[in-house]
Amino acid sequence: MPRPEPVSRLSVQLLPDPERGPVTPDGPLRSVQEAELAMDSAALEQLWRPETLERLARGYWRYLNRISLGLLRVAYSGSDRSIVLVWRRFELLRFRAPRYDTGPGFGRVTWPIERGVLVAPNGRGCGYLSFDVRRAASQPGGEERVRVRAVVSNFYPLLRGSGRFARIGSFIYSQTQLRVHVLVTRGYLRSLERGNLPPMRRGRESAHRDTAV
């Protein structure tokens, strides 16, 4: 397989969390992290392709594996995928097949969350993880900007618990699982500055053919 063409000449600015707030003891939770990528027009032409959206998605899974020293892996089963700890049967999160939405200046990949050790029983099949990419207006001097937003929404964490424990569980969740998620996601967004995205999975080229972003 040919080596993927790196996306070069990028700079990344992490943005403040736009929806930061306390973790509630009930109801679905949402977490959003954003970054703005600045580049010249040549780099934008290289980045802004429909197939790059899939490479961006695959880069996130690769980043998880790398920073966990291989303890966290992505296991594929048909069109589904799971984040597993060490071995396949210990599923932290299972996702259904990703959905790709594209339009003029816009692209999004969404993984619906099906189940997993980290998901409360009443939250199975409810939440999702998505990466949203939007092209901004060109800046003076020919600089181009793209905003990347990572979203976890409608998520019910098992660690939060329920009943009387939920208030304490909300604090524990916010200081552990949520904090790790935010650090990992912001770390991945920062890593985009290197422009080293993985290649597409074999057979996905046709799924993006003739798609305009």
- Give pLDDT, residue 1: 47
Residue 153 is assigned to a structural domain of this protein: yes
Residue 9 is assigned to a structural domain of this protein: no
Chain centre distance of CA 190: 13
| Domain around 46 | 27-195
Residue 210 is assigned to a structural domain of this protein: no
- Give pLDDT, residue 211: 37
Distance, in Å, from the CA atom of 195 to the CA atom of 146, rounded to the nearest integer, reads 13
Number of domains within the chain? 1
Residue with tokens 């594996």: 65
Residue 43: name the closest of 5, 14, 69 by CA. Answer: 5
State the distance between the two ends of the chain, measured CA to CA, in whole angstroms: 25
Task: Give CB contacts under 8 A, 24+ apart, made by 40-43.
Answer: 40/9, 40/142, 40/143, 40/144, 41/138, 41/142, 41/144, 42/9, 43/7, 43/8, 43/9, 43/10, 43/144, 43/195
Residue 42 is assigned to a structural domain of this protein: yes
Residue 18 is assigned to a structural domain of this protein: no
Task: For residue 152, give the CATH number of its domain.
Answer: 3.30.530
CB 43 within 8 A of CB 8: yes
Residue 158 is assigned to a structural domain of this protein: yes
Residue 102 is assigned to a structural domain of this protein: yes
Q: What are residue 43's DSSP bridge partners?
A: none
The pTM for the full model equals 0.82
Residue 203 is assigned to a structural domain of this protein: no
- Give pLDDT, residue 31: 93
Q: Which residue ranges of the chain lie beneath pLDDT 70?
A: 1-9, 46-51, 138-141, 200-213
Distance, in Å, from the CA atom of 22 to the CA atom of 167, rounded to the nearest integer, reads 11
8 three-class SS: coil
> SS in 3 state form for 59-126?
HHHHHHHHHCCCCEEEEEECCEEEEEECCCCCEEEEECCCEEEEECCEEEEEEEEEECCCECHHHCCC
